Structure 1
Amino acid sequence: MLRESSRLELKAELNDKLEKEIVAFLNNREGGVLYIGVDDIGKPVKHLEIDSIQLKIADRIKNNILPSPLGLFDIVTEMIEDTPVTKIIISSGLEKPYYIKSKGMSPNGCFMRIGTSTQPMSTALIDELYAKRIHTTLRNIPAPRQDLTFAQLKIYYQERGLELNNQFVNSLELLTPEGKYNYIAYLLADENGVSIKVAKYAGRDKVDLIESEEYGYCSLIKATNQVLEKMKIENVTKTKVTSTKRIETHLVEPVPLREALINAVVHNDFSREIPPVFEIFSDRMEFTSYGGLIAGQSMEDFFSCSSMPRNRELMRVFKDVGLVEQLGSGMSRILKYYDRDIFEISDHFIKVIFPFAVQEKGDANSKGENGIENGIENGIENGIENEDERKIFSILVETPDITAKKMSEHTGFSVRKINRIMKGLKEKGIIVRVGSDRKGYWEIQGK
């Protein structure tokens, strides 16, 4: 059941308060979500013309709010009780205070979220936020060269059924206030000096470099797609075929890998001309982007599903060409599979470390008919419900006396999460503890 909160607002219909609510969420530290077509008690309102409403909403947000909110909002259709409603996802903006264009930067135009209500900002707060406003965004930094072309970018838009007309440099905000190509344009141009490095090492450290490739000097969209293809190849699938099942395991879960890679690119601080780096070791993958937490952003903000985009213009283009599916969804897709502790955040860098899944050793002959394969099959048939349980179960089949701490090192899961999964497997009767906690082992039922 949907309930209004500091990050959630419900409206039964589209009314003249739309801009006010959007501005409040843009100014909110964590952004927010606005539903149109849902009443105060969370019930959907039927017979609303979704397509027509969403076009009006997009037009009003683009034209009636300053600074430009493009790249900071997403409009999608969601089904509630089999009824389509409009969901507007709003990220926190970097150029606070945001305000209603017709009202100006005043208490009549600037709003903030307090609990479940939207309130006018005080003049003192408006002045304080304006004084802290970040002006050195990529949009305001001139490109190092001005002879830029965008044939690659146009092709990516065409592949999505979109056309870039003669005014696209304005609509995509590729110009500085002085009318020169900005750094966003430079990153998206057919030729530039930006390159993304992918390095592969033979072991667990950087001593033995066996492969080093550069993807770039072209549109950042093209470079990102090239790196995605490279990592897809490296994230090989290990397959075991048994008498009844085909069991496949990637080194890293594909969905969070893709999301973390794209996040590392689109949220990288390119203003210092330091691109993201992707490294492959024998036991893990590491993605490092430059730029720590954004000023005013907390760790909790960083992990929220509606975080603060560092480069909203890039975010918008990445969404247009299908690299980003829905605003704010990337982090939730990562945390669905991995715990927060795969992230290392310092003052200047954010690193994501994906440990490889435990690889099974030996084969059916070495384990016999009641070996790993049959153990996994029996476990699945007896109630394993998701990928996390399958991972832990396969480890226990291979190494029944392994500790939760060791499993944490192998999987990237926290010890608390592992204990919770093992408790669930025990309650289902899939595993049973034999002996003491210190010297005992886990026995697979049905092996």
Structure 2
Amino acid sequence: MEKEVIAFLNYLEGELIYIGIDKHGKILGVGDIDGDMLKIKDRIKNNIAPSAMGLFDVVAEERDGKNIIKIIIAGGSEKPYFKKKYGMTEKGCFIRVGTAAEPMIQKIIDDLFAKRVRNSLSKIRSNRQELTFEQLKIFYQERGTPLNKNFPINLELLTENKKLNYVAYLMADENGNSIKLAKYSGNNRVDLIENQEYGYCSIIKATNNILNRLEVENTTRTKITPKERISKRLWNPVALREAVLNAIIHNDYTTEAPPKFEIFDDRIEITSIGGLPNGLSQEDFFEGYSIQRNKGIMRIYKDLELVEQLGSGVPRILDAYDKDCFKFSDNFLRITFPKSISGAISGAISGAIESLTERQVEILELIKENNKIAYREVAQRLEINNSAVQAHFNTLKEKGIIKRIGGTRGYWEVLKR
């Protein structure tokens, strides 16, 4: 399996590998889905160099009633990738040729090594070495995976000389990075009415602050007709979240310029620094292929479940908006979402839902956005207390609109839409 993974890491676009399907496409399934997924992750993590962390996902799928495993691989920026056992040799390096993983000839290995990106964030030494990471520890603790004393090594926050790198600097409690959010009156940048900075702290905390701030801006409007209640957000919440995370994770921080967020009367603009990574075309971008500019950042965001599968962000955006919302240049990528004027993102809500309050409709939208959402997060996003949230949830359950599946570690199922 490592051979195929290495071939795709060395490939321009990355690719998918399925476990539990034979070469003829017949679904065989796998027996111990959880155990096999863990073994695959360990083999990729421990047997391949440079580190592939942040460049792959291992997820379970069900087809024809059988469990299979899908390995999602992004093309890496530190080519050539190789089996640690054999090093950068023809026995250790592989490349994709047609549908096969073939040994890489030594000349290609040497050329790729010579071109390897040497200014990646993980290789840049932080100017400040006296850094603390209490905020990062809290985020990992909340996910049930507390960091131990070896976390700088485990999270690849050190350079080859064992000094804290620039990823560590961005994750630290205090740094010089600040993400700006501006709000204007009108449709241009003439009348600035709000200029907020979210930063000088862990980029994870800044990300959550930005998401929470935009959640407040992304209000729900409700229209009641004789036949239905229609609710809509100013922007599709899933697409907006993906755009925010993409801008922050894939920003070119070597320029020391953070992404920015601008709200106008008719739109929101999200701008990240740096064009498409070398070797990634616009067509590849829209197809969901991914070359990670900042794999160290991506790895931590995946750990904290801020992002899901590799390459899923752009397709999620395109589910709600056209390709025209993206603007590319050599130096930046801008996403523009127009404000919704009519129609409902979630569709018509009828029947028992007609009797809901506007607050309960907002809670229902949050559940649809994230069916594992906790009372505490709902309370924070709607700025109401926990007891009020629980009362609203009880009402939704009593009306048969939602149902809890799986207890405390389960999820909410929406029964009526």
Q: TM-score, normalised by structure 1?
A: 0.75
Kept in 1, the 8 Å contact 2:8–2:74? The answer is yes
Aligned match of 2:48: 65
**Backbone CA RMSD of aligned residues:** 1.7
Q: Distance in 2 between matches of 1:100 and 1:176?
A: 21
Alignment of 1:7-406 (within 5 A): 18-46=1-29, 48-359=31-342
2:285 partner SS: helix
- Specify the code of the residue in structure 1 equivalent to 2:179: I
| Cα shift at 1:53 | 1.1
Q: Distance in 2 between matches of 1:359 and 1:36?
A: 44
For structure 1, the 5+ residue unaligned runs are: 1-17, 361-376, 381-447
- Specify the code of the residue in structure 1 equivalent to 2:230: I
- Specify the code of the residue in structure 1 equivalent to 2:277: I
1:88 partner SS: strand
Q: Distance in 1 between matches of 2:238 and 2:316?
A: 7
Q: Distance in 2 between matches of 1:198 and 1:266?
A: 17
Deviation string 1:36-80 (CA, Å, 9 cap, x unpaired) is: 111122222245211111111111111111111111011111111
Aligned match of 1:434: none
Q: Distance in 2 between matches of 1:234 and 1:75?
A: 35
Aligned match of 1:401: none
Percent identity of paired positions between Structure 1 and Structure 2: 54
Larger Rg: 1
Q: Distance in 2 between matches of 1:70 and 1:256?
A: 25
Q: Distance in 1 between matches of 2:142 and 2:65?
A: 32
**Closer, same or farther in 2 for the Cα pair 1:251/1:47, shift >3 Å?**
closer
Q: TM-score, normalised by structure 2?
A: 0.81
Kept in 1, the 8 Å contact 2:143–2:304? The answer is yes
Q: Which runs of 4+ in 1 moved over 6 A?
A: none
Q: Distance in 2 between matches of 1:85 and 1:21?
A: 17
Kept in 2, the 8 Å contact 1:343–1:350? The answer is yes
Kept in 2, the 8 Å contact 1:302–1:308? The answer is no
For structure 2, the 5+ residue unaligned runs are: 351-417
Identify which of structures 1 and 2 has the higher relative contact order when contacts are C-alpha pairs closer than 8 Å and 6+ apart. Answer: 2
Aligned match of 1:390: none
Q: Distance in 1 between matches of 2:195 and 2:210?
A: 12
Kept in 1, the 8 Å contact 2:20–2:30? The answer is no
Kept in 2, the 8 Å contact 1:29–1:301? The answer is no
| Cα shift at 1:304 | 2.8
